[in-house]
Structure 1
Amino acid sequence: MTEKQYETILVSRENSISRITLNRPKVLNAMSPQLMHELDDALATVASDMESRVLIITGAGRAFCAGGDVDLDVAQVSKMTPFEWREYDLRFCSVIKRIYWMEKPVIAAVNGVAVGGGCDLAMACDIRVASEKARFGMAYIKMGIIPDLGGNYFLPRLVGLGRAKLLAFTGDLIDAKQAEHFGLVDLLVPEDEFPKAVEELAQKLANGPTKAIAMTKITMNKSLDMDLETSLDYSSNLQVFLMNTEDYREGVQAFLEKRRPAFKGR
């Protein structure tokens, strides 16, 4: 992957682990049109990079993402016509869809506050690892609007309908421990152990059978809207393709030889 230079994000890959860092720390990595455009472009690049086997998304400084930028997003949106707003929002939604359907695991490394659209961004990722300093909230209601970057889809599925409504109706911030209790955080670690925990998880996933992880992700995501019979049939069809991969053959051979498999992501 040829690393592009952006103004609002940092993108890198070390071996098979890609990383995108939202890089507007002075405004808590708030979402601007430029940031979302650059993020969308970077996600497309990572998705097509065959050497990349896992992606970490995090924020620079003391925040993950504080949602919409007051001047560059919120103030501008208030001046738009309904049709201008819809076109504008669809461009932001592209980021969420790229993460959700990317055929590789995406880790949200939530190092600080994740509010509004920032919380939606974290929820779109496959796994949320949070520092004990992280805070989560659905602040849309405080401006008299609803979640529009996936919150209405992701939040009830992660924390249940009642708790989703509690968070969305009040807009209250919750700490990382409460978020873990609700099911919004998958792995909670002390602040001083946070970078190591994220890297260890990313490396574990990068060492795994990439195509099998990707197909598990896609099948689970699609199965949320399937009945049992359809999900079983869909899984069976994908299994046939996976049984023709190098990693499947290596996994079987390693099992028979009682050794650790050396997956290559092929």
Structure 2
Amino acid sequence: MTQEHTVDTTAITTGNGTDSGTGTDAEAVVRRLYTALADGDRDTLDAILDPDFVGVLAAGMPGGVGGEHRGAEAMRRDGWGGIGRHFAARAEPDRIDALADGRLLVSGHYRGRGRRGGAELEAAFTHVVTVTGGRLTRLEQLTDTARWAAAAPPYTTLDVRAADGVGTLRLNRPDRHNAVDRMLGAEFARAVDAVAADPAVRAVVLTGGDRVFCVGGDVELFTGCAPEELPRVLREVTDLFHPTVERLSTMDAPVVAAVHGAAAGMGLALVCAADVVVAAEDAVFTTAYGGIGLTADGGLSWTLPRLVGLRRAQELFLTGRRLTAAEALEWGLVTRVVPAAEVDTVAREYATAIADGPTQAFGAVRRLLRRSSESDLHTHLAEEQRSVVEAGRSHDLVEGTRALAERRRPRFTGS
């Protein structure tokens, strides 16, 4: 199953604001942007966004979308797409004014509401937009992020908490064995965005509770719709789930999975996205896709062979074999197997120790390890050099070297 990133058609919509702008070609390009976002018009976005477009969303925006998004695709996927996953809102520009430096100032209001039970949203905004050579090269957003946070929908399928540097994401659909439906997919995306953007979260525990981890996609998604609707449903689910798996795999905070019971399909993909996996003795692992006629998703066809090898991955996908916890340990799929009563404690111990470490360095190592099997040695050495030079700018390196010289334990801050 392939993934296509699209702009959510209900994410941002133009209003009927008054036109007090200059009527220049640049203003026309800006108006085309709002119309294209409203229509989900990928072709127009490709035409008007410079490939090196930079979008800067206000710090503190819910769902972790605040900050800089470099590249048109990153802004579509993580910026505007992130807003659309959590809000049904429209941008109603009231004015477009030319600034002295040639940029355009767009001012107006966002109006809408948080999705899935969220509150009503009304928040003023300004966008400072740069147009160069007929294409948008930069957009900077200012808005009242407190109003966005107040409108964000509550979690209904997750328990999310953070304490002492450790964020905990607990899948909470016990009646459906934590099967992933649209709601859980959207809420999980928001939760991962939030912990990834929170500098106070320096490790994450991912769990499904003490009975089952996650059995994969909810079959009611498929049985509850007409056959001709299945491709659309599958695209919607993966549009939510795939960017989340990527964010989970590449954020700075390492992930510890605590696995009870079954981890199947999407659940197994989440296990493979983690850095440390603590499994109960009664845990089982299976791909499960072949049993209902599907292919892999959640990056599982990419991560699984890198963990267990191609031949073993082929066996798991083609036969539907269920691995016991002991077999998963032998194959390198999990880090440690413990009695069920000890899983949460051991996972917390791992996460607490990791949270005390140099978080930015850990994040860089996570990304280097993920890329290691797809680059040659020369390329990877260059990546390591860039990474270690960047680490040289961190406060944690200063603290680590000072602690070594003073023969004490370092007190890392993750910065």
TM-score (norm. length: structure 1): 0.94
- Partner of residue 351, structure 2: 202
Give yes or no for contact 1:137–1:171 (8 Å, CA) kept in 2: yes
Deviation, 1:243, is: 1.3
Instruction: Output the CA distance in 1 between the equivalents of 2:269 and 2:226.
Output: 18
Secondary structure at 1:63's aligned position in 2?
Answer: coil
Give yes or no for contact 1:25–1:61 (8 Å, CA) kept in 2: no
The correspondence for 1:14, drawn from 163, 178, 182, is 163
Instruction: Output the CA distance in 2 between the equivalents of 1:189 and 1:61.
Output: 13
Give yes or no for contact 2:368–2:384 (8 Å, CA) kept in 1: yes
- Partner of residue 243, structure 1: 392
Give yes or no for contact 1:64–1:113 (8 Å, CA) kept in 2: yes
1:22 maps to amino acid: L
Task: Give 1:180-195 correspondences, 5 Å limit.
Answer: 180-195=329-344
CA offset digits 1:151-180 (Å, max 9, x no partner): 110111010011111111111211111111
The correspondence for 1:44, drawn from 186, 193, 200, is 193
- Partner of residue 98, structure 1: 247
What's the RMSD between the two structures over aligned residues? 1.9
Task: Give 1:54-73 correspondences, 5 Å limit.
Answer: 54-73=203-222
Larger relative CO (CA 8 A, sep 6+): 1 or 2? 1
Instruction: Output the CA distance in 2 between the equivalents of 1:199 and 1:85.
Output: 34
Instruction: Output the CA distance in 2 between the equivalents of 1:225 and 1:264.
Output: 32
Structure 1 segments (4+ residues) deviating >6 Å: 1-4
Instruction: Output the CA distance in 1 between the equivalents of 2:234 and 2:321.
Output: 26
Deviation, 1:260, is: 1.2
Instruction: Output the CA distance in 2 between the equivalents of 1:257 and 1:166.
Output: 52
Secondary structure at 2:374's aligned position in 1?
Answer: coil
Task: Give 1:151-162 correspondences, 5 Å limit.
Answer: 151-162=300-311
Instruction: Output the CA distance in 1 between the equivalents of 2:358 and 2:257.
Output: 20
Secondary structure at 1:65's aligned position in 2?
Answer: coil
Q: Which one has a larger percent strand, Structure 1 or Structure 2?
A: 2
- Partner of residue 122, structure 2: none
Secondary structure at 2:263's aligned position in 1?
Answer: strand
Instruction: Output the CA distance in 1 between the equivalents of 2:223 and 2:246.
Output: 22
Q: Evaluate the alpha carbon distance shift between residue 173 and residue 76 of structure 1 in structure 2; reply closer, same or farther with a 3 A threshold.
A: farther
Deviation, 1:61, is: 4.1
CA offset digits 1:206-249 (Å, max 9, x no partner): 00111111111111112222111111111111111211211101
Deviation, 1:23, is: 0.1
Give yes or no for contact 2:253–2:362 (8 Å, CA) kept in 1: yes
Deviation, 1:83, is: 5.3
Secondary structure at 2:388's aligned position in 1?
Answer: helix
State the structure with more CA Rg: 2
The correspondence for 1:223, drawn from 345, 365, 372, is 372
Name stretches of at least 5 consecutive residues in structure 1 with no aligned partner.
none
Deviation, 1:111, is: 1.7
Say yes or no: does 1:30 pair with 2:212.
Answer: no
Task: Give 1:77-156 correspondences, 5 Å limit.
Answer: 78-80=227-229, 82=231, 85-156=234-305
Deviation, 1:84, is: 5.5
Give yes or no for contact 1:54–1:105 (8 Å, CA) kept in 2: yes
Give yes or no for contact 2:202–2:252 (8 Å, CA) kept in 1: no
Matched-pair identity in %? 36
Instruction: Output the CA distance in 1 between the equivalents of 2:232 and 2:195.
Output: 31
Residues matched between the structures, number = 266
Instruction: Output the CA distance in 2 between the equivalents of 1:130 and 1:77.
Output: 38
2:297 maps to amino acid: D
Instruction: Output the CA distance in 2 between the equivalents of 1:52 and 1:77.
Output: 42
Q: Evaluate the alpha carbon distance shift between residue 150 and residue 74 of structure 1 in structure 2; reply closer, same or farther with a 3 A threshold.
A: farther
Deviation, 1:95, is: 1.9
Q: Evaluate the alpha carbon distance shift between residue 102 and residue 70 of structure 1 in structure 2; reply closer, same or farther with a 3 A threshold.
A: same
Q: Evaluate the alpha carbon distance shift between residue 116 and residue 159 of structure 1 in structure 2; reply closer, same or farther with a 3 A threshold.
A: same
Q: Which one has a larger percent helix, Structure 1 or Structure 2?
A: 1
TM-score (norm. length: structure 2): 0.61
CA offset digits 1:74-123 (Å, max 9, x no partner): 64484425456434422221221121121210111112210111111211
Give yes or no for contact 2:285–2:323 (8 Å, CA) kept in 1: yes
Say yes or no: does 1:260 pair with 2:409.
Answer: yes
